[in-house]
Structure 1
Amino acid sequence: MLKKIQQDFSYYSHEFKDNYRKGVHRLRTILASRAQAQAFVSNAGGVAVVLGYEPETPDKNAQELYALLAASPYIDDAAQTFLGSIYEAGAESQDAMYSDSARCLEILHDPVMSRAAGAGTVSAGKWIATLAGQSCAAYTGIAAVAASETAMTAVAASETAMAAVVCNATALNAVVTSQVALNAVAASETAMAAVIGNATALNVVATSQAAMNAVAASETAMTAVIANTAAFNTVVTSHVAMNAVASSYVAVAVVYESAVAVEAVKANETAWATLTGATSAVMGKAAAKLAGLNPADYADMTAVASSSTAMAAIIGNATALNAVVSSQTAMAAVASSNTARTAITNSATAKNALTSSPLKTTVTKGNGNGWENRTIRNGMGYLISCFNANSGGEAGSTWYKLDGAQTSQPAGTTNVGKFFTSSLAIYWWSSTSSVTYIPC
């Protein structure tokens, strides 16, 4: 003879599954009535029909039924009934269910049970607290766990607790919406590994401004993200994530410390524009950090550019120098400072870095042979080189002007390597002549 739970399971299976569309309507109707809903979530056979399907093999309305129940205010009671039918020792209460760490591990390793435990705000909080070595009785739910620095430090340090967090939308949402929780996750290599290893969790973090702000502010978190190609690609392609990165000098410095990361950002035009457009405050502190200086000593890139000590340190550090010559903001500050201009002009290393700057642009005459006096730029910049395609008498007549000061241009390429603060003009003849400079 079938036990009652089996009979109930059979009954609700017919109610919900004989007609998939009507089954969804039936559950919706049940959940709309408090009395009917409470009776249903107290029925082990009934909730097993909704919560007990294998995640990898849903039938045509399994996910819709589950979504209805999970979004209802009765999900915690349903989860307790479902798990209580499996673990009679924990059926008395949620504290009894989740106080046993071995049981919580069993639940974690079973996809059906872990989905049920993670669906409710109360059950998810108590389950994850125990997995993290905390007392489940001390927390009313996942919001309380996420708001507790003590609890979240423990959760972030626990592989098992983080596995539960990243696999359950309820827990993940609580973490992403709590600054306390985000700070704990971003500071933990264990927690970041869990986030990076789960595509859904990573996408949630990369598209959350609060989450990405926490990640970008943490050297630990940014280092972990950059070390994982797929994770960093997710960040690079997210407008929210790149804005967070470009707003944090810590994140900007970590990106520039990785040649692979820099190339990945360069490959995405929008991301590269965001990174190189970081504010003067961000770029100044990032450059200082990369050069081994104390970022707190410099308010912005203007302060860095006006310091001979800072400029010497930057020129002496290839990573810091590459960051500066790649940033429009940084180069504007450099071009505005006599101290910075002098330091760079007197350094072959700095000049070489500028010739490779991604900011450089080349203008070719290109409008046919014939004499032309053209203003290339009004404003600041750095003239890298001029190419005069002519020879003979024409070569001697060609010139370039920096801030109104004229210099004759011989045939061939002339490496100039000088700043200008107001204008760059050139007088040329051949259609293939060109000038290469960095606008600042």
Structure 2
Amino acid sequence: MIKKIQQDFSYYSHEFKDNYRKGVHRLRTILASRAQAQAFVSNAGGTAVVLGYEPETPDKNAQELYALLAASPYIDDAVQTFLGSIYEAGAESQDAMYSDSARCLEILHDPVMSRAAGAGTVSAGKWIATLAGQSCNLYRDMNAVAASDIAMTAVAASETAMEAVISGTIALNAVAASKTAMTAVAANETAMAAVAASRVAMSAIIGNSTALNAVVTSSVAMAAIIGNSTALNAVVSSSTAMAAVAASQTAMAAIASSQTAMAAIASSQTAMAAIASSQTAMAAIASSSTAMAAIIGNSTALNAVVSSSTAMAAVASSNTARTAITNSATAKNALASSPLKTTVTKGNGNGWENRTIRNGMGYLISCYNANSGGEAGSTWYKLDGAQTSQPAGTTNVGKFFTSSLAIYWWSSTSSVTYIPC
């Protein structure tokens, strides 16, 4: 004889699957009525039709039916009914269902059951608490787990619990939105290794300011991100993520010292736009020979730096950066074409003049001395008080000054080209 659960499964299969479009409409109608919804989520055969499809082989409306039920206020009851039909010992209550750690592991390793357990706020919280070695009856739901320092410390340290967190939208979003949860995750190598390896998890982190701030202010978290190409690419391609990274001394210290991270940053216009416009980021870049080598070695990065007044101020302030620039013909060529450059022409008639061009930092690109004959040998420029003779014609200088640029010239058409920093 066919059991009732099988009969119900067959009935709801016909209702939901004989016509895919009408099946979705039928479930929507059921969920719109409290009485009908409660009756449905108490039916093991019916919930099995919606929650029991194989993730790898959905039919034409399986995902839409699942999404409707998952978004409804009845999802936890539906999950309990569905799993209770599989585990009779846990059918009594959610605490009974998730109190058995072996059962929770079994659920985790089954793609259908783990998807179901992760779909409800209550079921996800109690399931993940047990996977982390906690008593599930101490936590009302996933939000309670995420708000608990004790629970989240345990979750972050558990590979199995983190696997469950990352596999479910409910848990992942709850963790990402909780400062307590993200502090625990960002400080734990196990947790961050799991997060960094998951595109879904990284998307959730980047999309939530609480989570993103926790990650970029943690050296453990940044090490995990830098060490995983999935995570690193997600960060450098996101203007939101890079804005947070560029504003964090912790994040920038990790990035500036890593050839891997700097290679990724330097190749990304999005990343370099954030870096070049941030004083915090450029201070870290300019003080690191590793970072400066990456910048100079990539035209995208170099052009971003020489086009930004913020970036150039940081470069001019750092002996490390100045040395790297002045030792590179590539960098000097880029500076010579910088949109920041300005040209000052004497322009007040022929006659000797000692003029201070700039008080402050800058980069002297070139001097043009229109004089000839005896006047040429008398013309000079001073960088930070150090005088250099200026012959006739154009002299490509390519040097930084940190306090002042002055010039002594005669011809009205003589000029000096520099970048104020």
Q: 2:401 pairs with 409, 418, 422, which one?
A: 418
- 1:190 equivalenced with 2:190 (yes/no): yes
* 1:14 corresponding residue in structure 2: 14
The Cα shift of 1:203 comes to: 1.3
CA deviations on 1:228-284 (whole Å, 9 max, x unpaired) are 12211110111111111112110111110112212321222332131233246x766
What does 1:169-188 align with in structure 2 at a 5 Å threshold? 169-188=169-188
For residue 67 of structure 2, what is the amino acid of its counterpart?
A
Q: What residue number does 1:167 align with?
A: 167
Cα distance in 2 between the residues matched to 1:116 and 1:46: 14
Q: Distance in 1 between matches of 2:266 and 2:412?
A: 35
Please state if 1:361 is matched with 2:342. no
Amino acid paired to 1:383: Y
Question: Which residue of 1 is the match for residue 31 of structure 2?
Answer: 31
- CA distance in structure 2 between the aligned counterparts of 1:243 and 1:330, rounded to whole angstroms: 15
Q: 1:382 aligns with which of 356, 362, 371?
A: 362
What's the Cα RMSD here? Answer: 3.9
**For 1:299-314, what aligned pairs fall within 5 Å after superposition?**
none
User: Does structure 2 retain, via aligned residues, the 8 Å contact 1:383–1:420?
Assistant: no
**Cα contact 2:369–2:411 (8 A) shared by 1:** no
**Partners of 2:379 and 2:389 within 8 A in 1:** yes
- 1:168-207 CA-to-partner distances (Å, cap 9, x unmatched) read 0000010011110111111111111111121111111122
Contact kept in structure 2, 1:30 and 1:37, CA below 8 Å: yes
- How big is the shift at 1:354? 3.8
Indicate the percent of aligned positions where both proteins have the same amino acid. Answer: 62
In 2: Cα distance, 1:379 partner to 1:274 partner? 28
Mapping for residues 22-421 of structure 1, pairs under 5 Å: 22-279=22-279, 318=289, 329=310, 332=313, 344=319, 351-355=322-326, 361-363=335-337, 373=346, 380-383=360-363, 386=366, 400=381, 407-410=388-391, 413-414=396-397, 416-421=399-404
Distance 1:4 1:319, change over 3 A: same
Change (3 A) 1:423 1:232: farther
Q: Does 1:5 align with 2:9?
A: no
- Corresponding pairs, count: 393
Per-residue deviation, residues 383-440 of structure 1 (Å, max 9, x unmatched):
355487999869758765669998543476545443354788999999xx996x5541
Contact persistence 1:95–1:137 (CA under 8 A) = yes
TM-score, scaled to structure 1: 0.78
**Aligned letter for 1:418?**
F
- Structure-2 separation of matches of 1:161 and 1:103: 14
Structure 1 distance, partners of 2:241, 2:7, is 52
Question: In structure 1, what is the Cα distance between the partners aligned to 2:264 and 2:44?
Answer: 52
TM-score (norm: length of structure 2): 0.81
Distance 1:426 1:146 in 2: 70
Gaps of 5+ in 2: 297-304, 339-343, 348-354
Cα-to-partner distance string for 1:69-96 (whole Å, 9 max, x where unaligned): 0011110010000001111111111111
Q: 1:405 to 1:256 in 2, by over 3 A?
A: closer
Residues 416 and 67 of structure 1, relative CA distance in 2, 3 Å threshold: closer
SS at match of 1:150: helix
Distance 1:352 1:26, change over 3 A: same
Counterparts in 2 of 1:193 and 1:70: CA distance versus 1, 3 Å: same
Instruction: State the partner residue of 2:350.
Output: none
In the aligned structure 2, how far is the partner of 1:395 from the partner of 1:39? 99
User: Offset at 1:380?
Assistant: 4.0
Q: Distance in 1 between matches of 2:407 and 2:38?
A: 79
